[in-house]
């Protein structure tokens, strides 16, 4: 009889590619991963891992069993969903992730309401960029993720995931209060062709969106400063070091010396939740989505 937890360990190794990454994904030690794999090899009577430089790789037998493990674990997820749905009780544990402004703008209200309305449900939350959190949902490291895309640049979402719209976020342009456009009711992005920009770190979806959007309007962006936190970006703006896109969700207090002006083209960030379709009937998932929708409604 194959042990389910050992199959889960093998599945994590296949998905993450290393013992260390699998241990992080499973929230266990590397030695626990190694021990589980050694026991699984004894159970099946075949070598599942082989040395590969300083790491390991799956053998042919390991890959074959990992494919079966992924299907078995998916069936287990479906069985758990059906059992939870039949009981109709919101219990157990739900792991959710969100990009920083959504975590700041939605999680306090959503998680508090889940704790109040469903005291037997444990909620674990973490901040992750959209691409990372979608990958975590696909791998099973997260049950639910809050992600975003833009009206002119969509985020690729793989098959097998369900979605629920939470809100549309209309960002403004933040600029020093002494900027020539600071007193305007609306602005066009083309008017900032000569300005320096403060942006998200390179490689993040929103940074790629900013570069794509400005170039589509014939502007080669002069990005001088990179910062992941919007509060840091606004502090740089207050110091007179450029302009930035300032989403409204989770914005919080705006420092002195910063002016916010809406964009005439009505840029929109679409904020939505995603989860695996094989977990669609879990009451805990439905409760979490409902709580996020209520939080999004109060935020809007």
The pair of structure tokens assigned to 191 is 């008017």
Largest CA distance in the chain: 74
Beta bridge partners of 173: 245, 261
Q: What is the pLDDT of residues 186-216, one digit of tens each?
A: 999 889 999 999 999 998 999 999 999 999 9
Which tens digit of pLDDT belongs to each residue from 233-286? 999 999 999 999 999 998 888 999 999 999 987 788 999 999 988 888 888 999
Selection from 37-41, 54-58, 169-173, 240-244 with the highest mean pLDDT: 240-244
* Helices within 2-29 (DSSP H only): 4-16, 19-26
Distance, CA of 127 to chain centre: 7
Q: Quick: pLDDT tens for 56-65.
A: 889 999 899 9
Q: Is 205 helix (H, G, I), strand (E, B) or coil?
A: helix
**Is pTM, for the whole model, over 0.85?**
no
DSSP 278: G
Average pLDDT, the chain: 89
Element holding 135 (H helix, E strand)? helix 130-139
């Amino acid at each position: 009889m194959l042990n389910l937890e050992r199959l889960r360990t093998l599945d994590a190794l296949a998905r993450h590619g290393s013992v260390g990454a699998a241990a992080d994904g499973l929230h266990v030690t590397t030695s626990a991963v190694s021990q589980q794999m050694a026991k699984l090899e004894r159970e099946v009577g075949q070598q599942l891992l082989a040395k590969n430089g300083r790491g390991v790789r799956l053998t042919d037998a390991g890959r074959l069993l990992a494919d079966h493990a992924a299907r078995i674990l998916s069936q287990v997820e479906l069985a758990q969903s059906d059992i939870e749905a039949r009981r109709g009780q919101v219990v157990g544990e739900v792991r959710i992730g969100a990009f920083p402004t959504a975590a700041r703008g939605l999680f306090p209200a959503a998680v508090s309401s889940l704790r109040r309305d469903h005291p037997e449900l444990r909620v674990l939350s973490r901040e992750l960029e959209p691409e990372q959190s979608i990958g975590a949902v696909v791998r099973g490291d997260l049950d639910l993720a809050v992600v975003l895309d833009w009206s002119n640049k969509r985020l690729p979402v793989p098959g097998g995931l369900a979605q629920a719209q939470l809100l549309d976020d209309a960002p403004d342009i933040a600029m020093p209060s002494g900027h020539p456009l600071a007193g305007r009711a609306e602005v066009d992005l083309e008017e900032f062709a000569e300005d320096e920009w403060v942006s998200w770190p390179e490689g993040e979806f929103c940074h790629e969106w900013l570069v794509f959007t400005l170039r589509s309007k014939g502007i080669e962006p002069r990005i001088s400063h990179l910062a992941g936190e919007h509060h840091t970006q606004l502090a740089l703006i207050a110091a007179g070091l450029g302009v930035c896109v300032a989403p409204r969700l989770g914005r919080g207090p705006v420092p002195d010396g910063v002016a916010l002006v809406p964009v005439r083209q009505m840029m929109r960030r679409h904020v939505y939740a995603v989860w695996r379709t094989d977990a669609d009937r879990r009451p805990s998932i439905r409760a979490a989505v409902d709580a996020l929708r209520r939080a999004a409604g109060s935020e809007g």
